[in-house]
Amino acid sequence: MKPLNEITIAEARKLLDEGVATSKELTQACLTQIQSLDGALHAFLEVYADDALAAADQSDQRRTDGNVLSKLDGIPVAIKDNMLLQGKACTAGSKILQGHIAAYNSTAVRKLMEAGAVILGRTNMDEFAMGSSTEHSAYGPTKHPRDPERVPGGSSGGSAVAVAANMCLGALGSDTGGSIRQPASMCGIFGLKPTYGRVSRYGLMAMASSLDQIGPMTKCVEDAAIILDTIQGQDPSDQTTSDTEPFRISKLESRSSNDLKGLKIGLPKQAWQAGGIESRVLENTKAALAELEKAGAEMVEIDLPYADEALAVYYILMPCEVSANLARFDGMRYGLRKQGLPLFETYAQSRAEGFGDEVMRRILLGTFALSSGYIDAYYVCAKKVQALIRQAYERAFNEVDLIVTPTCPATAFRLGEKLNDPLAMYLEDVFTVSVNVAGVPAISMPCQEDGGMPVGLQLIGKWFDEATVLSAAKVLESELAKQ
């Protein structure tokens, strides 16, 4: 039997139900792994060992009493440091919130706890989720579990490493332009960005409110489905959550294990023929495509225009929303305040000291793109191109059921490699951002495991059609496991 921290949520559920393992043993196995590895990897900003063990005891008691709450009852998971958990520090990886204690629970974390999940701790991230490497955390970078000289991707790099290095059974990340999928790809795990409006953003520290979405980061497709099933749903505290039919795990189970007949997959030529894709990424993702085809899927080349423009649209809309959302950090009601200064200086010095350079760069970019004289050429123009990008997805999905691309153009890069070139860092997101701009769901899943740096394949679905995304991913997962 595998060590308890290395198994999936689905496997752990089985062991718990059969009485072979307890939540306390699962939790202790994860805590031991954190203790031995996290000094080197720095995936966690804080570990709640005592609370986690107490929650595990309660879960074990419930199981003894025959009152298991859900599939997640007793499962140790990690959350990203931008999701509020009442009474615990929450900093979004920023110095401006050092010592800030969450006053209430985010909906997604509350739902995890109501399902009986054990929260192990909060994970490292790029400051306010701005970055693709977790190097922009004010608390130091997270390292790649296979090579500590490399980045794990970002911004949910801490959650990705916690899952990949078996320090938890699953984790939550947040994705504004790829922040779940890109680190999942680089660390060789599964990361799902749900449809915008599927999961409540209440209690998630806002980066770009019209693009942010919380989602699962896991070791297998089924685990992602279990977590999505738990955290999804309309929320009166987030008016952008949708009343659409919820995702049901039963839909995932209804497709037979190796059959993709009748599924039409679109391969956008703008992605597959784009220059600059690393050869290792091309080889591994194309091998995965061949497996999808063998399983019966029909592959067609499609035209998905505005691929480059989507990144430009994103790097206008996102900073605009950032500049508005981060205006709340003014040193008045919470966060860092420089004392003994006149009002203007209190604002300006508190912010300049509390925010990192990347955050300030994006605030200024947004301030520019929204300023009088430029707003039409930048913000309004970007909102119009966004409409065209959504139309392009609508047209594509009239022809196909899924769209598939590599998740990232390259594998994990070296620490510091892109730190002084913000545009190079932004180009990391070239395949992931258009999904957020359109609001559709997408998963990144690992291609064939060969011991090298992991490569991710991205499966993009129609609005609110996580079921097709996850069921195709599940078939591919089992085909790849056979090799």
471 is catalytic: no
3-state secondary structure of 192: strand
Residues 6+ apart with CB under 8 A from 353: 95, 336, 338
- Residue from 348, 417, 448, 478 touching another protein (CB under 8 A): that is 348
Is 102 a residue that touches another protein (CB under 8 A)? yes
Is 256 among the catalytic positions? no
Catalytic residue selected from 179, 185, 323, 444: 179
Return d(Cα 210, Cα 469) in angstroms, integer.
Answer: 22
Q: Is 210 in the site for another protein (CB under 8 A)?
A: yes
Pick between residue 204 and residue 225 the one whose CB is nearest to another protein. 204
> Which residue's CB is nearer to another protein, number 68 or number 324?
324
Classify strands 402-406 and 264-268 as parallel, antiparallel or unpaired. Answer: parallel
Could you say which of 23, 24, 59, 80 is catalytic? 80
Query: Which residues inside 31-60 make contact with another protein, applying CB under 8 A?
Result: none
Site string for another protein, 254-293 (x = CB under 8 A): ----------------------------------------
Does residue 268 contact residue 305 with C-beta atoms inside 8 Å? no
Q: Name the one residue in this structure whose structure tokens are 């990192």.
A: 356
For residue 384, state whether it binds another protein (rule: CB under 8 A): yes
> Which CB, 44 or 379, lies closer to another protein?
379
Name the nearest CA neighbour of 96 among 347, 335, 364: 335
Applying CB under 8 A, which part among 53-61, 135-143, 349-357, 455-463 lies near another protein? 349-357
Q: Is 133 a catalytic residue?
A: no
Q: Which one of residues 19, 262, 340, 373 is an interface residue with another protein (CB under 8 A)?
A: 340
Quote the CA–CA distance of 307 and 109 in Å, as a whole number.
34
Q: Which one is catalytic: 155, 156, 159, 323?
A: 155
In single-letter form, the type of residue at position 392 comes to A
Q: Which of residues 404-433 bind another protein (CB under 8 A)?
A: 422-423, 426
HSE-CB of 426 using CA atoms within 13 angstroms: 18
Which of 463, 456, 470, 472 has its CA nearest to residue 178? Answer: 456
Residue of 20, 300, 364, 481 interacting with another protein (CB under 8 A):
364
Could you tell me the two tokens for 474? 């599940």
Q: Which of 7, 112, 295, 363 binds another protein (CB under 8 A)?
A: 363
Residue corresponding to tokens 């996290």: 38
* Least distance CB 138 / another protein (angstroms): 16
Contact between 246 and another protein per CB under 8 A: no
CB of 305 to another protein, least distance (A): 9
- Any contact of residue 323 with another protein (CB under 8 A)? yes
Q: Of 320, 438, 321, whose CA–CA distance to 377 is shortest?
A: 320
Contact pick of 275, 276, 342, 373 for another protein (by CB under 8 A): 342
DSSP codes, 405-470 = EES-SSSPPBTTTTTT-HHHHHHTTTTTHHHHHHT--EEEEE----SSS--EEEEEESTT-HHHHH
- Residue 28 vs 232, nearer CB to another protein: 232
Q: Which residues are identified as catalytic?
A: 80, 155, 179
